[in-house]
Amino acid sequence: MTEKHKVAILGSGNWGSTVAKIVGSNVKTKTESFDPEVRVWVYEELVDGRKLTEIINSDHENVKYLPGKKLPENVVAVPDPIEAVAGADILVFVLPHQFVRGLCAKLRGNVREGAFAVSLIKGVEFDENGIVLISDVISKELGVECSVLMGANIANEIADEQFSEATIGYKNAAHAKLLQIIFQKPYFRIAGAPDIPGVEICGALKNVVALGAGFCDGLGYGNNTKAAVIRFGLLEMVRFAKKFFKNVQYTTFLQSSGVADLITTCYGGRNRKCAEAFARAGGRKSFEELEVELLNGQKLQGTLTAKEVHEVLQRQKLMKEFPFFEVIYDIVYEGRPVEQFLQELSEKELSLEGNIE
């Protein structure tokens, strides 16, 4: 008899909890191939005086990050990441990208032989050579292969079981097929793309574009302006991906991980929401304050990614080729007035394309 697969989920925020709902329900119906217990690592905290892990295990609900949605009873919350991955061969990483290295350091040496990972994390890092993919961080830190799953995936809508799609970026097709089995639902369609960098870079950069979309909303601009801003952002996403990863496929931008995620995030995401509030306050409230005020413990990824992208562009003297990413960085980190968002941007962006000679 072949050994059953066992899934562990690392992270239990808004998306992590939604994913636990999906995966818990899927493996429960496929016990011939999967261990029905899905352990979820929960960053422990007190909610109304009770431990969040205890609330999840007794009430089967993550009352802080996904209130109002029941989790299957085979989803078990644990505060110790090593206990979460014990015996698991499929590791689902779904936590804010700033916490990945700390978690990997705890997990190193404790992952089952033959295990593989998938990252649902939208973010990047950088080093002296340029951009570092989070899937590569996980892969190198833990010695596991790591696929990615990204897409137009606002968690609350998927938790409501509204139809959505996602893209698995993979190198190993056998892993991708197993991942499709644990994630796919009639309301959640999973496609594949053998292009990990393309899928992952789209997922990270769309969060920066969403800040621009939020500025537009906060400054009171209409639909045409916002569409132009989204297009500028998409141009830079493609330019950036091609610059740092030569083999990125254009078709990836047409997947859910590309244009669909960009659209949903620029209309309904948390980065957009906080950027709108930032612009409405005329830049007088910081993103840190707004994150606390508006997101109840959930985390923004776009502001940090804007900084990481800027560091790489500055080191490689590429700032002029990315005026959109640069103006977002200047507004968030350098005190540039948000009202200046569109000034120069349109001119600079258009000078890079579309001139009529």
Ligand X SMILES: NC(=O)c1ccc[n+]([C@@H]2O[C@H](COP(=O)([O-])OP(=O)(O)OC[C@H]3O[C@@H](n4cnc5c(N)ncnc54)[C@H](O)[C@@H]3O)[C@@H](O)[C@H]2O)c1
Instruction: Using CB under 6 A, list all residues that contact ligand X.
Output: 11-16, 43, 65, 94-97, 99, 120-123, 153-155, 298-299, 301
Q: Based on C-alpha coordinates, what's the Rg of the chain? A: 20
Separation CA 204–CA 121 (nearest Å) = 8
Number of residues in contact with ligand G3P under rule CB under 6 A: 13
Residue 41, marked binder: no
At residue 222, φ and ψ (nearest 5 deg) are: -95, -170
C-alpha pair distances (Å), 109 with each of 80, 104, 105, 121, 262 = 15, 10, 9, 22, 37
Task: Identify the DSSP state of 356.
Answer: -
- Regarding 261 and contact with ligand G3P (CB under 6 A), the answer is yes
Task: Identify the DSSP state of 243.
Answer: H
Cβ proximity to ligand G3P: between 145 and 161 the closer is 161
Distance in Å, CB of 131 to ligand X, minimum: 16
116-119 and 50-51 beta bridge pairing: unpaired
Instruction: Look up residue 259 and give its amino acid.
Output: V
- Regarding 269 and contact with ligand G3P (CB under 6 A), the answer is yes
Binder to ligand G3P among 270, 277, 338, 342 (CB under 6 A)?
270
Separation CA 70–CA 84 (nearest Å) = 20
Q: Tell me the per-residue interface mask from 313 to 332 with ligand G3P, x by CB under 6 A, - otherwise.
A: --------------------
Q: Give the catalytic positions in this structure.
A: 206
Q: Which of residues 33-62 bind ligand G3P (CB under 6 A)?
A: none
Write out the binding residues: 11-16, 99, 122, 155, 270-271, 299, 301
Q: Name the site residues for ligand G3P (rule: CB under 6 A).
A: 122, 152-154, 207, 210, 261, 264-265, 269-271, 301
Write out the binding residues for substrate: 122, 270-271
